[in-house]
Structure 1
Amino acid sequence: MIVFIIINVIFCISFLGFAYLNFDDSDWYLWVPIYVAVAACCGLACFSMYYPNVYLGLTAFYLIYAVKLFFEKDGVKDWIVKYRTPSLVESMKAEKPFIENTREFFGLLIISGALVIDYFVVINL
């Protein structure tokens, strides 16, 4: 159980940091709440406050949004097929929409993974 708490503390702090870093983004109004919501879930789990239905609802929303980013014009699919997977980390200033969309896609997968981990740990308690 202590490992679960440590992992959630790391997730919570990381996601709050990501939320803070998104304040200077043009679509901060979308990404700050996304990161704060998952940070809150991880933070509450540290104090044995579990909300499995919230984990499932947020995960569903995040994965649906990830699928949208995958298939939209200049999305992840275009990054792979059309642009031949150029580096996503050359510059933190994403001037190309397919780089921004791909980074957002992987961010959504990471936060979904954190919620899925919490969900399966909680239902097995």
Structure 2
Amino acid sequence: MKYIEKATHLLFTLCLLAFAALQFNDPDPMTWILFYVICAAVPALALVNRPMDSVFWIALIVCGIALAIYASGAYNYYLHRNEEPLMQSMNPEKPYIEEAREFLGALIATVFVVISHVLARYRKK
């Protein structure tokens, strides 16, 4: 179980750092790079057996804010999902497509943060 847990933390850390690296071509790269680096800190700290509740709560709050900001865009995309593919170039006339992608990225990050925290807490007991 220990190796599976470590592998999970490593995978989540690497994925979130890769997500951060992919943001360099985004219109607002520093916001999203910082977001993903904060989220990557949770599994990274768990990987080295130093989970910190304060880092988890900061990451969870940041994730919640991102999800709240982009929820309306994700909902608008949901209403147009049969007409618009999610993977297309950015279009200023359809901002909900980019907002839906940002919402999904924040949702994935939230799942990674919560799973890493739960695994780290379970291990402590």
Aligned positions of 1:1-125 closer than 5 A: 1-71=2-72, 75-81=73-79, 83-85=80-82, 86-89=84-87, 91=88, 93-95=89-91, 96-124=94-122, 125=124
Change in Cα spacing, 1:36 to 1:77, as seen in structure 2 (3 Å) is: same
Q: Which shows bigger deviation, 54-63 or 112-121?
A: 54-63
Deviation at 1:53, TM superposition (A): 2.7
Aligned amino acid, residue 109 of structure 1 = L
Q: Relative to total residues, which structure has the larger helix share, 1 or 2?
A: 2
In the comparison of the two structures, how many residue pairs are matched? 119
TM-score, length of structure 2 as denominator length = 0.85
Secondary structure at the counterpart of residue 50 of structure 2: coil
Letter matched to residue 99 of structure 1: I
CA distance in 2, matches of 1:17, 1:84: 27
Identity %: 27
In the alignment, structure 2 segments of 5+ residues that lack a partner are: none
Which segments of structure 1 move beyond 4 Å, counting only runs of 4 or more?
Answer: none
Amino acid at match of 2:20: A
Instruction: Give, in angstroms, the shift of residue 23 of structure 1.
Output: 0.9
The aligned amino acid for 1:54 is V
Where in structure 1 are there 5+ consecutive unaligned residues?
none
The alpha carbon displacement at 1:50 in A equals: 0.4
TM-score (norm 1): 0.85
